[in-house]
Amino acid sequence: MSLTKISKVRKLSLSEIRLEIIASKRELFELNFKRATKQSFKSHLFKHTRHKLSQLLMVENEYKKNIT
């Protein structure tokens, strides 16, 4: 699994970006929960999910700046 490309994120609409942000935050929560309860999880998913979330937040912020 490779890191997400910013070009894919920029093709999304604002509503799709917001849905992806919610999904990414939920995935991070679930990963943290699995780590805290000592369940098995793939540790590289922390990096991938945080990377995707930061890209989504950045593009959302760009949308907001362009609207204003």
Query: What are 7-37's pLDDT values in tens digits?
Result: 999 999 999 999 999 999 999 999 999 999 9
Instruction: Give the closest residue to 44 by CA, choosing from 35, 36, 55.
Output: 35
Q: DSSP character for 42? A: -
Mean pLDDT rounded to a whole number for the chain: 93
At 41 the three-state DSSP class reads: coil
Q: Which is more confidently placed, 15 or 66?
A: 15
Task: Indicate the domain borders of the chain.
Answer: 6-67
- CATH number 1.25.40 is the correct assignment for the domain at 6-67: no
Whether the pLDDT of residue 67 is over 80: the answer is: no
Whether the pLDDT of residue 68 is over 80: the answer is: no
Query: Residue type at 41?
Result: F
